[in-house]
Structure 1
Amino acid sequence: MSTRELVVLGTASQTPTRRRNHNAYLLRWDGAGLLFDPGEGTQRQMIMAGVAATDITRILISHFHGDHCLGVPGVVQRMSLDRVPHPVYAHFPASGAEYFARLRHASSYHETATVIAQPVRAPGVIAEGAFGRLEAHPLDHPVQAYGYRLVEPDGRRMLPDRLAALGISGPRVGELVREGGIRVGGRTVTVEEVSEPRPGQRFAFVMDTRLCEGVHTLAEGADMLVIESTFLDADARLAHEFGHLTAGQAARVARESGVRRLVLTHFSQRYPDPTAFATEARRHFESDLVVAEDLMRVPVPPRR
């Protein structure tokens, strides 16, 4: 059975606290493992969460502020130590290519893992595969920043009652799916007759940014939106000045974009009580809300 879940490795912003490590999030998506924004201490958090280096198939960095990338050296070196057998693709803003090169080779080590750098040079699709379509869209921060969206293609859901009524079972079901139609009782039965549309799932990751077009593009129709909420609305001026969102702004984006599960994270150390973020967000988003905690696992909602 496939697994789709978010493993939260860290939820702090610029400064870690006793309870919150710097950023890092692993999205398990069937056989893929997408590691977003590995901040300082990510390797240790992976051990605490039961995440192996071999679980990672892609590294995605939104921007090159330290709390979003200083974990790269430890993660990359751990990949070589554990001899990860598959290539690992790294996506990041092209303007930070030199930073990534320095982080990747921050110290001497025996490099056995294959890490393939794929800088993001323009918005749009940056990778496609069995996992679906991976997109990057620009955000509004003092340095170049991108958010990421994973989009699964739409498909079809087979309907057991219709299959049974037509006497289609076992290997013939697979044949029908592969061929699009098979002969049954002197006529051709098509996939459309025995199935219904199944919308593909969507996951969105939005880190350090002011409100901008990219935020809404990424969030649109997301089954799960992981989004920064560094500040509370009382400090909205500071949020804008430093290129961040408030919990209220993040929640309004989720409501306007039809998000199903909203995950708030990247909390400033100035706020000791995380329940304040939930209280503020629920004024605008009354659906499925999660205030992220370190080492939490958040499942992607079941299909619609």
Structure 2
Amino acid sequence: METGENNNGNEGCIIYKSWCSQFRNASNPWMARYVYGLIFLVANLLAWAARDYGRGALTEMERLKGCNGGKDCLGAEGVLRVSLGCFIFYIILFLSTTGTSKLNQVRNTWHSGWWSVKIVLWAVMTVIPFFLPSGFIQIYGEVAHFGAGVFLLIQLISIISFITWLNDCCASEKYAARCEPAGENCIRKSDSATKTDWLSIISFVVAILAIVIATFSTGIDSKCFQFRKDDTPAEDDVPYGYGFFHFVFATGAMYFAMLLVGWNSHHSMRKWTIDVGWTSTWVRIVNEWLAVCVYLWMLVAPMIWKSRHAAST
């Protein structure tokens, strides 16, 4: 009886060690993208919590030198600090995985496994920005404007058809001008202008999930940015560009930070709101104009290339 119990115990230890080994060294790039998406979601939720509910952590933040008694680690600066940590994390992964082409390469193992190490790395990168001076964070906030613009451009090129479909399904008078500040002409009749209601909360949650899903789907769509299409991929080729995947998430962290601060680090945002303000309004307008240009180019470009190819032959 004791022998059976010992054998069961040994088998349990073997299974546990095997599971830990697989978790650390697993090489499944398709599953890896879900973990990265989850990390991205948690990081953005932390940024939102720092903006709307950071006051509860004021006492603890008073001990951090870079926070100026806690004042510079809350609100918009809190968002930027969390965003900076997320950005650095994905930039490190971008630099360490870009150029990976085969599944048997060491960088593929790093991209698809070693989760315990990468989770610790992400946690450290999230904490470090809270020790940095406010001036450095403001510089990052300015740079994030350009990074967010790059993300918007990548997203437009990658999922223009999805955006069109989503707009047709979800467009309504209630949602038409949600970016415009409360109380202005186009949104004056909205019941969310003076208080936070369930519509605002639902819209906020849907917006977060939509951004995470868009970032996730865009990250594995690197082939649409290749000017020269390769032949049929080999069995040992990586299924998507790892470097591009992490670059999209890095710029996505900047984009999400801009949404939470209304594209202005000095702009105060009401709880459960996202992408609200005049700057956000004009960014949305310009983005729609750009979307039209990209869509027209996607329609015209194939005909231009086809005519040029016919002329050259």
TM-score, with structure 1 as normaliser: 0.20
* Larger strand proportion of the pair: 1
Structure number with the bigger relative contact order (C-alpha 8 A, sep ≥ 6) is 2
* Larger radius of gyration between Structure 1 and Structure 2: 2
* Larger helix proportion of the pair: 2
TM-score, with structure 2 as normaliser: 0.20
